[in-house]
Amino acid sequence: MQVPTILVVDDEPLIRWSLSARLTAEGYRVLEADTAAQALERQREGVDLVLLDYRLPDADGLAVLQRIKEADPDTLVILLTAYSSVEAAVEAMKRGAYHYANKPFNLDEIVLLVRKALETTELRREIRALRATQAQPYGLERIVGESEAIANVRALLRKIASSPASTVLLTGESGTGKDLAAKVLHYTSQRAGKPFMNVTCSALPETLLESELFGHERGAFTGADRQKRGLFETADGGTVFLDEIGEIVPALQAKLLRFLEEKTFKRVGGAADIRVDVRVVAATNRKLEEEVRQGRFREDLYYRLNVLTITLPPLRERARDIPLLLKYYVDSFNTEFKKRVQGIAADALERLQAYAWPGNIRELRNAVERAMILGEGKLLTSADFPMLAGGRARLTETVELPAHGINLDELERSLVVQALDRCGWNQTRAAALLGLNRDQIRYRIEKFKLERVPS
Ligand SMILES: Nc1ncnc2c1ncn2[C@@H]1O[C@H](COP(=O)(O)OP(=O)(O)OP(=O)(O)O)[C@@H](O)[C@H]1O
Ligand SMILES: [Mg+2]
């Protein structure tokens, strides 16, 4: 802890001097003030505790006490009163004073009081710091975006988090935020104080996955030399996140369905039914309906899972969130890498907004991370985002001139029309898709006499 700072407020120089000398000798940093105005002024320098004279030339002690508390509720105040007036003392405590001392006071007594008071502040700070670290690391605000699609996702998460719903399905392409949504769902729910357990279904062979989820009895299979509790038991009261649910084999699908319906299960090799209270959040980037149609995923399990479904939208369908997310990650990497990147150059921003982001937010995050590690300017530019060039480079490799040739003018016209249509005739974004600037696309719109056809 830093050396605590004590502000001594009294209009009598002798009292200030004696308090100041003693407290300095005790190792504190001491500031002085002889009026209320000066006291409030000096409080701004950062003060842990104030020794405040009840009678000041320019204001009464209670009023000053109130102002000090308003400026910083954490500042402790010990009121020094010349008359032992019970009413004044009571009033002072009511207004938030830590304690009071009667003048003439004994310096040892004051030192003791100060020490105790500062222990309180220290404790309070520790508690707050603890709370802050335990406070939901995954609040709804972690889901960045202003588009309607993402606002809907947040609204659904909020509702479901506070509901008793025990099963939730998260769908969406890779990198759209299913993991994040699962954590937000857990940490904003009543279950937040209980475990959040995460298992990636595709990462384990089927038998291991089963015992991972349900646990096993001793001797249940070779190598099971002791009883083991599964995730569902460990997470009792909390949430189990089953990632990549589309990957589990039919036999396990049946067991999972039974668990979701009855809330009970048996350990592998066990006979007893075990009952737990967990919310199961399942995620998949596969189209489960399709898996059902193909016979790879049980229909009944699909219906059981699909009661409350949140679909995370792909980034390309919410392009207006792209600048926000870019800013969010520039800020967070500035902090992490101790950098001072100010933002993204306008033309790069346009192109990033028009880019399709096949890897969604994960790709965006990684792109910003890379750009911030390697980039050198205050602004990130297109050159810092290789995928902007990459997309087009690949194109030049794959577009091969047909043997019978083409009409270049027609091809150009067709591409401009496609770009405009794809971007709802937003010229800036269409231009970015073609690697042009706005003047260049306007020139072509005029050249080809293109007009928007109302749909
Ligand atoms: N709306 C959002 N705002 C800010 N960051 C986000 C948002 N959505 C996702 N992210 C971040 O993007 C990255 C990828 O998200 P996440 O891991 O949740 O994707 P996923 O859908 O689980 O992908 P996969 O299917 O590949 O497992 C993470 O770093 C996550 O924190
Ligand atoms: Mg994931």
Dihedral of the alpha carbons of 233, 235, 241, 243, in degrees to the nearest 10: -50
* 430-433 own/partner pairs: CB under 8 Å, 24+ apart: 430/354, 431/350, 432/350, 432/351, 432/353, 432/354, 432/355, 433/354
Tell me which residue has its CA closest to atom 29 in ligand 1: 362
Contact 382, 388 (CB under 8 A): yes
Q: How far is the CA of 36 from the centre of ligand 1 (A)?
A: 53
Query: How far, in Å, are 98, 268, 292, 362, 409 from residue 287 at the CA level?
Result: 62, 30, 9, 20, 40
- At residue 397, the pLDDT reads 47
Tell me how far apart the alpha carbons of residues 22 and 55 are, in angstroms, rounded to a whole number: 22
Look-up of token digits 């690949």: 394
Tell me which residue has its CA closest to atom 26 in ligand 1: 174
Tell me how far apart the alpha carbons of residues 278 and 261 are, in angstroms, rounded to a whole number: 12
Q: How far is the CA of 175 from the centre of ligand 1 (A)?
A: 5
pLDDT tens digits for the chain (455 residues)? Answer: 578 999 999 999 999 999 999 999 999 999 999 999 999 999 988 899 999 998 888 888 889 999 998 888 888 999 998 766 777 778 888 888 999 888 888 999 999 999 999 988 788 777 776 665 565 679 999 999 999 999 999 999 999 999 998 899 999 999 999 999 999 999 999 998 889 999 999 888 888 899 999 999 988 888 888 888 999 999 999 999 999 999 999 899 999 999 999 999 999 999 999 999 999 999 999 889 999 999 999 999 999 999 999 999 999 999 999 999 999 999 999 999 989 999 999 999 999 998 989 899 999 999 999 999 998 889 999 999 998 875 554 444 456 777 788 888 888 999 999 899 888 888 888 888 888 888 889 999 999 999 887 76
Would the CB of 286 count as within 6 Å of ligand 1?
A: no
Tell me which residue has its CA closest to atom 17 in ligand 1: 179
Torsion angles phi and psi, residue 406, rounded to 5: -140, 170
Please compute, for residue 289, the number of CA atoms within 13 A of its CA located in the half-sphere on the CB side: 3
Query: How far, in Å, are 179, 394, 422 from residue 371 at the CA level?
Result: 24, 21, 28
Pocket probe mutation, ligand 1, options 336, 361, 370, max atoms within 8 Å of Cβ: 361
Look-up of token digits 């401009």: 416
Within 10 Å of residue 90's Cβ, how many Cβ atoms?
11
Contact 158, 165 (CB under 8 A): no
Q: Which atom of ligand 1 is nearest to the CA of 177?
A: 18
How do beta strands 49-53 and 5-9 pair? parallel
Residues whose beta carbons lie less than 5 angstroms from ion ligand 2: 178-179
Torsion angles phi and psi, residue 46, rounded to 5: 95, 95
- At residue 396, the pLDDT reads 45
Tell me how far apart the alpha carbons of residues 198 and 179 are, in angstroms, rounded to a whole number: 9
Within 10 Å of residue 236's Cβ, how many Cβ atoms?
15
Q: 7: helix, coil or strand?
A: strand
Ligand closest to 172 (CA) is 1
Pocket probe mutation, ligand 1, options 169, 179, 311, 332, max atoms within 8 Å of Cβ: 179
Tell me which residue has its CA closest to atom 1 in ligand 1: 143
Tell me which residue has its CA closest to atom 27 in ligand 1: 174
Ligand closest to 311 (CA) is 1
Would the CB of 365 count as within 6 Å of ligand 1?
A: yes
Q: How far is the CA of 406 from the centre of ligand 1 (A)?
A: 43
Task: Please give the single-letter amino acid code of residue 230.
Answer: G
Q: Which atom of ligand 1 is nearest to the CA of 144?
A: 3
Token pair for 101? 């001392």
DSSP label of 41: H
Torsion angles phi and psi, residue 22, rounded to 5: -70, -45
Would the CB of 144 count as within 6 Å of ligand 1?
A: yes
Token pair for 446? 């005029």
Q: How far is the CA of 318 from the centre of ligand 1 (A)?
A: 15
Token pair for 402? 């047909």
Q: How far is the CA of 176 from the centre of ligand 1 (A)?
A: 5
Ligand closest to 360 (CA) is 1
Within 10 Å of residue 33's Cβ, how many Cβ atoms?
23
Helix (H) or strand (E) holding 26: none
DSSP string, 51-109: EEESB-SSSBHHHHHHHHHHH-TT-EEEEEESS--HHHHHHHHHTT-SEEEESS--HHH
Tell me how far apart the alpha carbons of residues 272 and 264 are, in angstroms, rounded to a whole number: 10
Would the CB of 234 count as within 6 Å of ligand 1?
A: no
Would the CB of 362 count as within 6 Å of ligand 1?
A: yes
Tell me which residue has its CA closest to atom 23 in ligand 1: 175
Q: Which atom of ligand 1 is nearest to the CA of 364?
A: 12
Q: How far is the CA of 327 from the centre of ligand 1 (A)?
A: 16
Contact 447, 413 (CB under 8 A): no
Q: How far is the CA of 215 from the centre of ligand 2 (A)?
A: 24
Tell me how far apart the alpha carbons of residues 247 and 414 are, in angstroms, rounded to a whole number: 42
Q: 199: helix, coil or strand?
A: strand
